[in-house]
Each structure stands twice: as structure tokens, then as C-alpha cells.
A = this chain, B = another copy of it.
Amino acid sequence: MKKRAVVVLSGGLDSTTCMGVAKDQGYELWPMTFSYGQRHDREVEQARKIADYFQVNTHRIVNLDFFKQLGGSALTDQQLDVPQNEENPGIPITYVPARNMIFLALASAYAEVIGASAVFTGVSSVDYSGYPDCRPEFIESMAKTVNLATRAGVTEHKISIETPLMHLTKAETIRLGTRLHVPYERTTSCYNGGDKACGTCDSCRLRIKGFQEAGLVDPIDYAIPIDWSRA
């Protein structure tokens, strides 16, 4: 049997790059997408298109409505505004409490069920250092916990947590993905989730800067003119 990987697929640029990396490493792709009360369903829609591109057998979409009930984040709480051009240091308001821990716990449970030996996640400690659960020390501790929590803990079967983008800048990620023919035209990053990316939210700005630094033109449409001459 071909070795299997669960890939946490958000529909964004990083997780889609992970699909390319896992495929390149010879894994059969088992993407898992979490729908968790985002302001929009665009991410899930794009994730479907990305899964199609990679011709996966099964794309598991898991509804996590309860994130709305937990509160504490601008991405899931309708009462809070998404920050524009946030310059605050520390933990961003877009932080969902322990989101990666929850995603990785669920993805690992799924990995156990389907016999996957790896869980891929597109976290990076470089561009998102404000999120506690994107740090290497968290991932290392989580991997240990996963193997204690599952049958892996009492059998030979181990589950690794793969974070190929951990130490890459956004530009390096984009160069890597481009080399692997990752379909960036199917990805979405904008917090506002319109037909065209707004180009002004924190996430758009980070993405645009990444393509500019990589010397590449982003294939998605923006609602405002972007200066790609720097590309």
C-alpha cells in the first residue's frame, strides 16, 4: 500500500503548498478541511477545487461549528472587526484559541483511522510568529502527544507531524510551490472572502509581499491594482 498522508487543507496558499510537498514525497493525499464558522465559505469551496486538482480519492470536510461558541477571535466572532493593517505586536486578534492543536488532534485521529503515517500542516514560525501554536516547540510536543494518545502509542504504527514550511518565508514557500506546480490560482487568502481578494487585509498583504519577493505574479484576482513590477 502507498504510504498515506492526511493534509490539513484550508484552501489557502500554505496548506496547498503542503499538498504539493506531500505528493512530491510519494504520499497518497488524504486532505481534511475544517469548516469552522469563518465569515465565508469561500475557503472550503477553494479547498474542494484544490482537492480536485490533485485528484484525491476522498476529501474529508469537517464542520466545527462550536468554534463560534468558543468565541475569542475576530475570524469567527461576528462582533469583532477583522483588523486592517494591524501593527500590534503579540498575539493577533485573528487567533482562534488553540486552533492548530484542535486541527492536529482531529487530523491525527483521522490518520489513525485510515492508517496514515503522516499529518501535514502548513504552519510557519516565520511569517506567523504571533500564533503560539505555530511554533516548532508546539509541533514537537504535539507530535509526542499524538503518539501517546493513539494506537500508535501502543503499536508499531507511528504518526509524524510534517511541517515543511516551518522555517520558510512566504516567498520561499511560493517558490517551492511553484516548482512543484501547486495550483495557486485555486487558493484564497483574503480575510474578507469576496470574489476578488481585497488586497488590503493583513493576509492579502502578506501574500502579495510573498509573491513580490519571490519575483512572481500572483495568479488570483485582486480588487485593487497591485504593483507586480517589483516581481
A70 to B113 alpha-carbon distance, docked (Å)? 7
In the complex, the answer to whether B70 meets A109 with C-beta atoms within 8 Å is: yes
**Chain A interface mostly helix, strand, loop or mixed?**
helix
Checking B60, B113, B145 against A142 with a beta-carbon cut-off of 8 angstroms, the contacting residue is B145
Q: For the complex formed by this chain, how many copies does it contain in all?
A: 2
What per-residue 1/0 map shows which CB atoms of A116-143 lie under 8 Å from chain B?
0000000000000000110101100110
A151 to B100 alpha-carbon distance, docked (Å)? 13
Interface residue tally for chain A (C-beta within 8 Å): 43
- A interface vs B, CB < 8 Å? 60, 62-66, 69-72, 90-91, 95-102, 105-106, 108-110, 112-113, 132-133, 135, 137-138, 141-142, 144-146, 148-151, 153-154
Please name the 3 residue pairs, one residue from A and one from B, whose CB atoms are nearest each other, closest first.
A101-B149, A97-B109, A98-B109
In the complex, the answer to whether A132 meets B110 with C-beta atoms within 8 Å is: no
Within the complex, what minimum Cβ distance (angstroms) separates A144 from chain B?
Answer: 5
